[in-house]
A = this chain, B = another copy of it.
């Protein structure tokens, strides 16, 4: 760690990384998630927790593996996440009859009431991004392009 003079430079160059789809995706995703955390601050829920609640609401009684798979979350991370929601009284795990190793996931009454509020907050939040994108058509175009990235070859 020798002392050096700061090299004379014009401006900070980001051209290489800026040309990379993955880098741009990550920047956009981080921005949307940071805004999510602000918008949902009163609920104290991260995006993945919101998604878990929404998936359980749409699929009461689903197995942990189904939700984890839908979110692309590793099993260990999912267990930590659902344990947190359980501890807050938003979800509950019940043993499935005839399959003692599987838990069925449900929203509690509190979880269902919270989900109703979350859905309203989410609708507002989503409307902001649709507006920023330039309308529903642009939003749909974005989703089509994102789908192509994820599609099997």
Give the B-binding residues of A (Cβ under 8 A). Answer: 1-7, 9, 12-17, 19-33, 36, 47, 51, 54-55, 57-62, 66, 70, 72, 92-97, 99, 103-104, 122, 126, 129-130, 132-134, 138-139, 141-143, 145-151, 153
Contacts and interface: CB of A to CB of B under 8 A. Distances in A.
B104 A133 contact: no
B5 A97 contact: yes
Q: Is the interface of A mostly helix, strand, loop or mixed?
A: helix
A1 B54 contact: no
B61 A93 contact: no
A95 to B, nearest CB: 5
Contact of A153 (B28, B126, B132): B132
A96 to B, nearest CB: 5
11 contacts: A1-B94, A5-B97, A9-B62, A14-B55, A16-B55, A17-B51, A21-B126, A22-B33, A25-B146, A28-B150, A31-B150
Contact of A145 (B7, B126, B145): B145
